Amino acid sequence: MGILLGFAPYIAFALVSGVSISLGLWLAFAAAFVITVRDFVESPTLRLLDAGSLVLFAVLALFTGFIEPGLSIQAVRLVADGGFLAMAIASLLLRRPMTLEYDHEHLAEGDANHPRALRVHYVLAVGWGLAFALMTAADVATILHPDMPLSLDLAAGLAILGLAIAFTLRYPAGPQNAARARSRH
């Protein structure tokens, strides 16, 4: 699904930040830049997730690189997770679920506003929002309880991210298969 490409900068950050926070941020910024430019060349519009990732990782990479290089990994992860949570909430409040912009199949057919397609995208956006809320909560717990091992926060974040990816890949197939079965009868 194309939405996973939109999350590629965050996924890169999550996987690499445990090794090097700077490398994770710059890699995420580079990925966000490439994805945003590539998509903008194809269609001169900016997706919320692409633009948000680009701005978030640019600011974090520059801030931690030049202004506050000693910023803890927990603080950086909190800002990144909170930023993605804010994007998910904003997309729902704007009534344009962030996953909808990646659904080329429905957009091309002109049925992006079909109730079934919208329901799938609202559920996916809420799912990602919940994932980022849980990751943000894990970051806050690690900050509030310094005796908690960082590896636990990193493992929780990666596990939640894995569940969100699996949910994204599997959930839309259920409603689509059910719709196909109903249309045959």
Q: Rounded to a whole number, what is the largest CA-CA distance in the chain?
A: 63
Inter-residue contact 161 to 134 (CB < 8 Å): no
Answer yes or no: is pLDDT of 183 > 70. Answer: no
Q: According to the model, what pLDDT value does residue 76 have?
A: 96
User: For residue range 67-103, what is the model confidence (pLDDT) as tens digits?
Assistant: 999 999 999 999 999 999 999 999 999 999 988 887 7
Inter-residue contact 160 to 154 (CB < 8 Å): no
Looking at residues 7-33, what average pLDDT do you find?
A: 94
Q: According to the model, what pLDDT value does residue 172 have?
A: 75
* Beta carbons within 10 angstroms of residue 74's beta carbon: 21
**CA separation for the pair 126, 122 (Å, rounded):** 6
Residue spans of the domains in the chain: they are 3-184
- Does the pTM exceed 0.85? yes
Answer yes or no: is pLDDT of 182 > 80. Answer: no
Confidence grade of residue 154 (pLDDT, cut at 50, 70, 90): confident
Between the alpha carbon of residue 106 and those of residues 4, 59, 165, the distances in Å are 17, 33, 20
Confidence grade of residue 107 (pLDDT, cut at 50, 70, 90): low
